[in-house]
Amino acid sequence: MFDYPIFEMPVIGQRMLMAINAVIHVFVSHGGAVGGSVVLALLAIWAHKRGDLAAYKMTFKILMVFFIVSTSIGALTGIGMWIHANILSPNAIGGLIRVFFWKWFTEWIVFNFEVVLLLMWFMTWKKNENTVEGREKSNRLGVYYAIASWLTMVIITAILAFMLTPNFDGQPWVDPEVFPGNVDYNNALFNPTWGPSLAFRTFSAIAFAAALAIMWTWIIGTFSKNPEDNDAKPRIIKFLATIMMVTVPLSIVLGYWYLSVIPESAKAMIPTAMMTREFEDKFDAMYTIIMATGGVVLLTTIIAYFKPKNMPYIAASAMVIAFLVFWGYEERVREFIRKPYIIYNYIYSNGIRPTDVPYLNKVGVLNHAIFIEDDKKILKEDKSNLIDVGHSVFLIECRICHTENGINGLKSLTKGWSQEAIRARLNNLPGGGTPYMPPFVGTDTEKDALAAYIHSLNKKGELR
pLDDT digits (tens, 9 = 90+) for 101-113: 888 899 899 999 9
Which of 50 and 286 is assigned the larger pLDDT?
Answer: 50
Q: Give the pLDDT of residue 278.
A: 62
pLDDT band at residue 464 under the 50/70/90 scheme? very low
Alpha carbon separation from 50 to 41, 140, 214, 235, 273 (Å, rounded): 14, 17, 19, 11, 47
Whether residue 340 has a cis bond before it, omega within 30° of 0: yes
pLDDT digits (tens, 9 = 90+) for 409-422: 999 989 999 999 99
pLDDT band at residue 238 under the 50/70/90 scheme? very high
Q: Give the pLDDT of residue 169.
A: 56
Average per-residue pLDDT in the chain? 88
Q: Give the pLDDT of residue 241.
A: 95
pLDDT digits (tens, 9 = 90+) for 122-174: 999 999 999 999 999 999 999 999 999 999 999 999 989 988 887 655 555 55
- How far is 379 from 385, CA to CA, in rounded Å? 6
Give exposure, 448-461, as e/b (b: 16+ Cβ within 10 Å). bbbbbbbbbbbeee
pLDDT band at residue 462 under the 50/70/90 scheme? very low
pLDDT digits (tens, 9 = 90+) for 319-376: 999 888 888 888 888 888 989 999 888 889 988 988 899 999 999 999 988 888 888 9
Mean pLDDT throughout 439-446? 95
Q: Give the pLDDT of residue 30.
A: 87
DSSP state of 268: T
Q: Which of 121-135, 168-182, 245-259 has the lowest mean pLDDT?
A: 168-182
Contact 244, 301 (CB under 8 A): yes
Q: Give the pLDDT of residue 268.
A: 84
Mean pLDDT throughout 388-409? 91
Cα dihedral value 5, 183, 82, 67, nearest 10: 170
Separation of CA 341 from chain center:
15
pLDDT band at residue 463 under the 50/70/90 scheme? very low
- How far is 222 from 230, CA to CA, in rounded Å? 6
Domain ranges for the chain: 14-172+184-348, 356-456
pLDDT band at residue 92 under the 50/70/90 scheme? confident
Q: Give the pLDDT of residue 461.
A: 40
